[in-house]
Amino acid sequence: MNFIYFHCFILFISLHGVISNRRNVLDSRICFADGFSFGVATASYQIEGAWNVSGKGEGIWDRYTHAHPEIVVDRSNGDVADGSYYKVKKDVALLRELGISFYRFSIAWSRILPNGLSNYVNEDGIRYYKELLAELRRNHITPVVTMYHFDLPQSLQELGGWTNPIMAEYFVDYARVLLDTFGDEVKIWLTFNEPYTFCEDGYGGIEAPGANSSGFEDYMCGHNVLRAHGMVYRMFDKEYRKKIGGHMGITLDFSWLEPATTSEEDQQAAETARQFYFGWFAHPIFSKSGDYPPIMRSMIDANSKRQGFYHSRLPYFTPEEVKMIRGAYDFLGLNHYTTYLIKHGSRRLGVQPSFVDDMNVIKFQKDEWPKTNSSWLKVVPWGFRKALNWVRLNYRNPKTLITENGVSFERGLRDTKRVNYIDSYLRALHTAIHQDGCLVVGYAYWSFLDNFEWTRGFSERFGLFEVDYQSPNLTRTARLSAKYYTNVAKTGCLPNNFADYTYNTD
């Protein structure tokens, strides 16, 4: 068995439920199974920089941050970011130091296809990712590759971006280039990162491309992204699986949504919210019946009618599309950061029509929950366990890879709060696996490095490594959490001597 196959084997044929034999009977540490993998995650626009170098085409985040610097809190952009485009050797050396077994990164569509279309391939883009893959291979780190992490080529945005049904076909062409070019090296693929986030925030809100058309364009985007995902998965299954092997999934984000009270109304509202926020993309792919969640279908259809539309604002799939999309996965990539409380929205809320209005719930967080440097992110580890169990119960316990979990705090290397966050979330994950039976095969911390956090610029730092944006070579320095995570990745166990990571600096 060659090396890459071996790693995929280890990652995916997980020794689910088998307690690690790394320790002896007197060892009371919490340990993950031997087959469980630890990794870290990043995304192209957030770390690469080199936005217009060596033939790369313009992406929507290039255009958006240049045209509207005021949208980003510190008026920054990803022009330079972490300069990872120039630091393949350095970054992989740090990954190796971490002792992790996989690295999740994304490919910038416009670096490979500058115009978004497959008739012109940018050789330097291919060179860059090939170099990265070769370096990972040399260091025995398995690549997990996201095809699309928010950065559509600007030329395709001019055609309406994800609101245009033809985007699904262009995405298939792009995926074909990736599978043909990198399929020998990459065996674990994710089509999309967080369609909810880029459809709702990008087409329903003010993240790039900033369409700000909630209740319309967000649903169009979601519809075409689901079609695109299904089409790429079917192509992979039919034309590539036998030839190159591998596994394909999609990454969805799921913040746990807990009813604010025990009232029937709030329980109902929380379940509706889960179906809207997560089921929107999960139900068509992972449920037995496929298609949009019934509650989403009926509420948006009814609202559309009441608002005087002849057609529902939520598009309909053809029966063939339902079938194509249903079951289009080998595994689920899950991003989880935080938890919200949900109350029934007894009055119509804000703008009509909109996604939030369609759902008719009120979402908030408890003031007592520990704060972080991201306004949306409170530390609630028990929500992770609940989210994983909801997935297990609703979608027949799919094989799951945690593709992101992480937290932002202020600058500084003594990040004891981050160590606490990771440790508490890993404990919740361990319980979900070993007590509840959730089939989770690996975990990636977000993020490897501090990076460009979209409209929050460089103000929110998620890295295990701090990046000094003042220094000309963008110096990376390990935080305490890097030391903690290295220990976890190397031993597969959560340390008992937690104090080592909370009070000492070296």
**Site track for ligand PNW across 385-404, x = CB under 6 A:** -------------------x
Stretch that binds ligand PNW, among 159-167, 190-198, 219-227, 416-424 (CB under 6 A): 190-198
In the complex with ligand PNW, the residue whose CB is nearer, 185 or 253, is 253
Binding positions for ligand PNW, 192-211, rule CB under 6 A: 193-194, 197
Candidates 376, 410, 437, 468; binder of ligand PNW (CB under 6 A) is 376
Stretch that binds ligand PNW, among 68-76, 333-341, 427-435, 465-473 (CB under 6 A): 333-341
d(CA 126, CA 165): 27
Instruction: Mark whether 404 is an active-site residue.
Output: yes
Contact 282, 271 (CB under 8 A): no
Shortest CB 390 distance to ligand PNW, Å: 15
d(CA 274, CA 258): 9
**Catalytic pick among 48, 200, 207, 404:** 404
Residue 350 buriedness (CB in 10 A; 0-12 / 13-18 / 19+):
exposed
d(CA 249, CA 188): 8
**Site track for ligand PNW across 213-252, x = CB under 6 A:** ----------------------------------------
d(CA 494, CA 424): 10
Strand (E) positions, 15-67?
A: 30-31, 37-41
Binding positions for ligand PNW, 432-491, rule CB under 6 A: 446, 453, 462
Stretch that binds ligand PNW, among 91-99, 227-235, 334-342, 382-390 (CB under 6 A): 334-342
Shortest CB 425 distance to ligand PNW, Å: 13
Tell me 52's DSSP state: T
3-state helix, strand, coil in the chain (%, to 5): 45, 15, 40
Q: Is 255 in the site for ligand PNW (CB under 6 A)?
A: yes
Stretch that binds ligand PNW, among 9-17, 26-34, 230-238, 330-338 (CB under 6 A): 330-338
Candidates 77, 163, 338, 400; binder of ligand PNW (CB under 6 A) is 338
Q: 67: part of which helix (H) or strand (E)?
A: helix 60-67
In the complex with ligand PNW, the residue whose CB is nearer, 43 or 144, is 43
Contact 334, 251 (CB under 8 A): yes
If you count them, how many residues does the chain have? 506
Binding positions for ligand PNW, 28-47, rule CB under 6 A: 43, 46
Query: What is the CB neighbour count within 10 angstroms for residue 488?
Result: 23
Stretch that binds ligand PNW, among 162-170, 189-197, 208-216, 480-488 (CB under 6 A): 189-197
In the complex with ligand PNW, the residue whose CB is nearer, 101 or 447, is 447
d(CA 173, CA 192): 15
Q: Is 62 in the site for ligand PNW (CB under 6 A)?
A: no
Long-range contacts of 3-8 (CB under 8 A, 24+ apart): 3/137, 3/140, 4/137, 4/142, 4/185, 4/187, 5/187, 5/245, 7/101, 7/102, 7/140, 7/142, 7/187, 8/142, 8/187, 8/188, 8/245, 8/246, 8/247
In the complex with ligand PNW, the residue whose CB is nearer, 240 or 340, is 340
Active site residues: 404
**Which positions lie near ligand PNW, rule CB under 6 A?**
43, 46, 193-194, 197, 253, 255, 335, 337-338, 376, 404, 446, 453, 462
